[in-house]
């Protein structure tokens, strides 16, 4: 039986991932602001100690090893202040990945999966915010977010996370330590988070107009299926991959990128 930690496990993609893993016989350690084994707000920079407490709590519950880690917790472009988006989507995810890496190394081969977004490929999202995130400068990243808007803060935080995954995955402390690190670039999925965006007076129409060739929003289980695959031995040759699961949106927008 594997032990796998999942952030954002109480709803949406995280909850769907939890259900799939448990159905397969895995033990899940959920991390969320409610209804989880570890209660923690990973997005409040004034609660940096809580991030470390969450890492310590997972270590205690997992024992001497962790077979997998999934970082799902995040908020969308409609959430204000926009600085919160950066703190949760990038720093909350990256710090958990880095903080639990040693526990993953004990269980090698093991795997970690982050949830990114297909919005990372849209024009105008590669701003100085991305560089500030990758430099570990949370205060500066939060300041820059306030000068942008919800969309660029959201997409920028997810772009930074995807780049961190790509840069880190082949390194000695990840792949060299028997840990496969990958990400899923999710499209628009019917979750409470998406519903909040649909109800927003500014972002709602933009979300509805986003082209999805397969004909509509995805389900949380669509993304969970990809996550569970990347955690499995069947994905043993995947390292540093950004797996687009978005109903064909990225292929439609960028058909000639590859």
**pLDDT tens digit sequence for 165-194:** 999 999 999 999 999 999 999 998 876 765
Higher pLDDT, 80 or 67: 67
What does the DSSP 8-state code read for residue 241?
A: -
User: What's the CA gap between 162 and 168, in Å, rounded?
Assistant: 10
Q: What is the pLDDT of residues 193-205, one digit of tens each?
A: 656 666 656 666 6
Q: Are 70 and 7 in contact (CB under 8 A)?
A: yes
Residues contacting 211, CB < 8 A, separation 6+: 249, 252, 253
C-alpha closest to that of 79 among 217, 199, 191, 196? 196
* H or E segment to which residue 214 belongs: none
Place of tokens 């999942």: 6
Distance CA 139, CA 109 (A): 35
Instruction: Check if the beta carbon of residue 134 is closer than 8 Å to that of residue 45.
Output: no
User: Kind and range of the H or E element at 151?
Assistant: helix 150-168
* Average pLDDT in the chain: 92
Q: Please state, in angstroms and rounded to a whole number, the distance separating the CA atoms of residues 73 and 80.
A: 16
Flag whether pLDDT at 47 surpasses 60.
Answer: no
Q: Report the chain's C-alpha Rg in angstroms.
A: 17
- The token pair at 127 is 């701003």
Q: Parse the chain into domains and list their residue ranges.
A: 3-245
Helix 12-23 and helix 220-231, axial crossing angle in degrees, nearest 10: 50
Report the length, in residues, of the chain: 258
- Bridging pattern class, strands 68-71 and 3-7: parallel
Comparing 6 with 80, the larger pLDDT belongs to 6
Contact 142, 90 (CB under 8 A): no
**Which pLDDT value is given to residue 202?**
61
Name the nearest CA neighbour of 111 among 24, 204, 177: 177
Catalytic residue among 154, 203, 217, 243: 154
Distance between CA 258 and CA 254 in Å, rounded? 9
SS3 at position 47? helix
> 63-75 pLDDT, tens per residue?
989 999 999 999 9
Query: What pLDDT does residue 197 have?
Result: 63
Higher pLDDT, 150 or 143: 143
Cα gap 66→51, rounded to integer Å? 17
Active-site residue flag, 154: yes
Query: The domain 3-245 belongs to what CATH superfamily?
Result: NAD(P)-binding Rossmann-like Domain (3.40.50.720)
Identify the pLDDT of residue 79: 86
């Amino acid at each position: 039986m594997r032990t796998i930690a999942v952030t954002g496990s109480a709803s949406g993609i995280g909850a769907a991932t939890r259900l799939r893993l448990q159905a397969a016989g895995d033990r899940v350690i959920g991390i969320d602001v409610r209804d989880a084994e570890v209660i923690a707000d990973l997005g409040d920079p004034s609660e940096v100690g809580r991030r470390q407490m969450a890492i310590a709590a997972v270590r205690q519950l997992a024992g001497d090893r962790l077979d997998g880690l999934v970082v799902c917790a995040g908020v969308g472009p409609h959430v204000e202040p926009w600085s919160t988006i950066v703190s949760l989507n990038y720093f909350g995810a990256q710090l958990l990945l880095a903080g639990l890496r040693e526990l993953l190394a004990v269980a090698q081969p093991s795997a970690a999966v982050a949830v990114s977004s297909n919005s990372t490929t849209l024009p105008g999202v590669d701003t100085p915010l991305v560089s500030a995130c990758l430099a570990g400068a949370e205060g500066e990243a939060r300041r820059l977010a306030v000068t942008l808007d919800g969309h660029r803060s959201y997409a920028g935080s997810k772009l930074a996370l995807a780049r961190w995954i790509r840069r880190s995955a082949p390194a000695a402390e990840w792949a060299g330590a028997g840990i496969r690190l990958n990400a899923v670039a999710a499209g628009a999925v019917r979750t409470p988070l998406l519903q909040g965006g649909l109800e927003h007076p500014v972002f709602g129409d933009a979300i509805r107009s986003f082209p999805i060739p397969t004909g509509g929003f995805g389900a949380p289980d669509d993304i969970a299926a990809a996550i569970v695959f990347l955690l499995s031995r069947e994905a043993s040759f995947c390292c540093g991959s950004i797996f687009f699961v978005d109903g064909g949106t990225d292929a439609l927008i960028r058909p000639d990128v590859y």
